[in-house]
Chain A
Amino acid sequence: SQQGEEDPQALSIQEGENATMNCSYKTSINNLQWYRQNSGRGLVHLILIRSNEREKHSGRLRVTLDTSKKSSSLLITASRAADTASYFCATAPPGSARQLTFGSGTQLTVLP
């Protein structure tokens, strides 16, 4: 079963635009993580935000977390063609930071 639901399922933008992906989840969490997966490859960790944090930045990435709404968003600013990939959110339950449940992902296409 998958706890996270990403929205939208697919997103297509022009290079230079910003991309926003959303993730909703159902139960309490210890942390929420975002991963990227290029076609035919393994997942790459992007960023981890803990349940007591509201916003986190890493380079061109900005993640927000609203535990009252059980939702998170991933913003990629000034997108590049190389950002084309699938993006997954994953949640870890309280007391088990290593047990991740992944969502079904957002397929991002950045057009040159």
Chain B
Amino acid sequence: EAGVVQSPRYKIIEKKQPVAFWCNPISGHNTLYWYLQNLGQGPELLIRYENEEAVDDSQLPKDRFSAERLKGVDSTLKIQPAELGDSAVYLCASSESGEQFFGPGTRLTVL
């Protein structure tokens, strides 16, 4: 069974540029999460989807971050414009019950 797939694995951009991350969850998992992880810290939730509905986006900086989950499967997280402080690893996870399955993450570096 394929795990959670994320792309790209690494992204380097200059500040003020846009960037997008893509996630394909495990087949059949209705719940999808986007987390941000800074170096030496645990993941922090940005947004949680139940099917195509965003049910928890209270920690998503909506002035520059946006996300969508079309048809309740794949999801895209976008940052526009990126700032230096956005450099981090962006993790996607999916679940069908309590246990979450994580993708390898996208390491974003903003120069």
Contacts and interface: CB of A to CB of B under 8 A. Distances in A.
B80 interface: no
A45 B91 contact: no
Contacts of B100: 33, 43, 45, 98, 100
Contacts of A33: 98-100
A101 B101 CA distance: 15
Interface in A38-78: 40-45, 48
A87 to B, nearest CB: 10
Interface residues of A, number: 24
Contact of A43 (B40, B45, B102): B102
Contact of A42 (B40, B41, B95, B102): B102
B25 interface: no
Given A41-B104, A42-B4, A42-B103, A100 B45 contact: yes
B48 A98 contact: yes
Contact of A97 (B40, B41, B48, B97): B97
A88 B42 contact: yes
Contact of A103 (B42, B56, B97, B104): B42
Contact of B43 (A43, A44, A97): A43
9 contacts: A2-B44, A35-B102, A42-B91, A45-B100, A45-B101, A97-B97, A98-B98, A99-B45, A104-B41
Interface of A: 2, 4, 31, 33, 35, 40-45, 48, 88, 90, 92, 97-105
